[in-house]
Amino acid sequence: MENVTITNPIIWADVPDPCVIRVGTAYYMVSTSMHAMPGCPIMKSENLMDWKIVNYVYDTLEDNDANNLLDGKGIYGKGSWAASLRHHNGTFYVCFSSNDMNQFYIYRTADIENGKWERFVIAGIHHDPSLLFDDGRVYVIHGNGSIRITELTADVMTVKSGGIDQRLFETERDGIMLRCEGCHAYRLNGYYYLFFIEWPNTGNRRRRQLCYRSRELLGVYEHKVILDDDMGYRNHGIAQGGIVDTPQDEWYALFFQDHDAVGRIPIVLQVTWMEDWPVIGMEGKAQVSFQAQFPSTAPTAPTQLVISDEFDYNENKLHLNWQWNHNPDNRLWSVIARPGWLQLETGNSTDSILFARNTLTQRTEGPVCIGITAMDVSHMKPGDHAGMVALQNHFGTVGIQAAANGKRYVAMCVNGGDGSEETVERFPYEESMIYLKIHFNFENSIDLASFYYSADCEEWKQIGAPLKMKYTLDHFMGYRFGLFNYATKHVGGHADFDFFRFNVESNV
């Protein structure tokens, strides 16, 4: 056996709405990804502490103007929400709803780490669903406040004609701002257990975790609040997620906690059982750190959710840590056209990073982190804007603006209020190479991003003003690093990025 120290948060980065399962000694987790592509990341761990991305469920969800950032709106805060991951009879299943498409998606594969996913689409929303396999039948339990159960066909491809499709029960209304949602369903110990998040506007006024249980699937459900704690952080409750066991029949819960601008971060807690009710944490409190035991396997490397990249590839396929902001235009990016460089070519015009296609992103990490890139701007066209962004609706960018008179300017910009970019500060810049840096400070919700540039990667100059980052629900995603290039006038120019280097040291 291997002794592991679980320290929360297990990942100080945006991994919202986690759903975890165990197959053998391996744990797999899926997370909400919304407008980031590829979507529905699958992460793997042997000890619930150290995770790596091993696959995505889909490369693109839909091919339309909204998903392609061509409708002036995009699918910010939409796309895939709160996916359910399950394994049954050798097949892995992921399901979720998409509000913008008004559809319910089911994917399946026999190989969760390397396989392609087969897709099925059902009309209508099944909000924050949980798949439940039970005695040869398949159900999806879903809803917000009004909890419903819908039976699927045995092959999990569509709704079963004549099958169960009814309201299961109503959850509390009085004093509740966000009624129960985010179901995670299990059959254990002779009970059906349904886990939910809710948010009361009385009492502690924070998100909390509830458990409903019944001896009968369609019977009367009793419930308890099983966790109402913020682990000392700004009254932000820890909730929404499920439970998983070890081969030794020890149990753990995996939830998330809002950490403001960095996003919603995953928390692992111990689970014990008392009178067949799950008891989360220690005496009702979430644990910052505790010891756990797992079967000895090959050594697990610490989580590297955000990575450095020298863009040294043999094929036009990026590391799994990268995601595009909305669907990419795969004709206009390359890591092999100029070996050792990421090349981003413009293909449509816009006036904002929010609608710039082929913005390549990774998460940020707390408490403090930086990203540095080097950019060759010699092939930008007049009107082009390229650089690095702290991406959320309230964004900040640092990069090069190519002017119509042939001059270039290094500039720091922010959202002007309507999505268009407002230049905070800019200076003439004559070199063809520029180095850019963004410094993120999420410690104690300081939530400041600072922007720098350099001609040699040694002497750095701050530009513009520090950005007070805001987590807003229109994006519903923590701040991300992004590398971008877009045209405001003439398409066809390109910017080349030599590397992206990431550091989480607090003294950088």
The residues carrying an active-site annotation are 17, 181
Give Cβ neighbours of residue 443 (< 8 Å, ≥ 6 apart).
Answer: 366, 367, 368, 506
Integer CA distances (angstroms), 326 to 55, 66, 385, in order: 18, 9, 19
| SS3 category, 171 | coil
Can you read off the two tokens belonging to residue 372?
A: 């540095």
Find the farthest-apart pair of alpha carbons in the chain and give their distance in angstroms, rounded: 76
Burial class (CB in 10 A: 0-12, 13-18, 19+), 88: middle
Give Cβ neighbours of residue 330 (< 8 Å, ≥ 6 apart).
Answer: none
Number of DSSP helices (H) and strands (E) in the chain, helices first:
0, 38
| SS3 category, 143 | coil
Buried residues in 130-156 as b, exposed as e (16+ CB within 10 A): bbbbeeeebbbbbbbbebbbbbbeeeb
Q: Pick from 105, 162, 170: which is nearest to 137 by CA? A: 162
Summarize the chain as % helix, strand, coil (round to 5). 0, 50, 50
